[in-house]
Amino acid sequence: MSKATIKEAVALVYDGKTTPTLSAKGEADIAEQIIALAMEYEVPIYQNADLVQVLARMELGDQIPPELYRTIAEIIA
C-alpha cells in the first residue's frame, strides 16, 4: 500500500459480542500511522474510500450504525 495514496483511515474494534466501534480515525499523517500500526500488528486492512468517509463522520467510541452492519460483517468475516 503506497503511503502517497493514504488520505484518510479509520479503525474499528470488535470483540465478537458487541457492535463494532470506531477506535481511530485520521487524515494524512495520522492515517498513515493507523495503517502502519495495522500492518505492524497484522490487523487486516480493507480499502473502501466511500466507507471510510461515512465512518470518519462518527465520533471515536461510537458503534457503527445499523445500516452498515451487513457491510462491516462481510469485511470482518
Residues in the chain: 77
Q: List the domain range (segments joined by +) for residue 10.
A: 3-76
Q: How many domains, the chain?
A: 1
Backbone region of residue 28 per phi and psi (left: phi > 0; alpha: psi in -120 to 50; beta: other values): left
CA atoms within 13 A on the CB side of 16: 1
Domain containing 62 — which CATH number?
3.40.1690.10
Q: What are residue 75's DSSP bridge partners?
A: none
**What totals of helices (H) and strands (E) does the chain contain, helices first?**
3, 2
Note the pLDDT of residue 2: 52
Helix runs in 1-68, H state only: 28-40, 49-56
Residue-wise pLDDT tens for the chain (77 aa)? 555 567 999 999 999 999 999 999 999 999 999 999 999 999 999 999 999 999 999 999 999 999 999 999 999 98
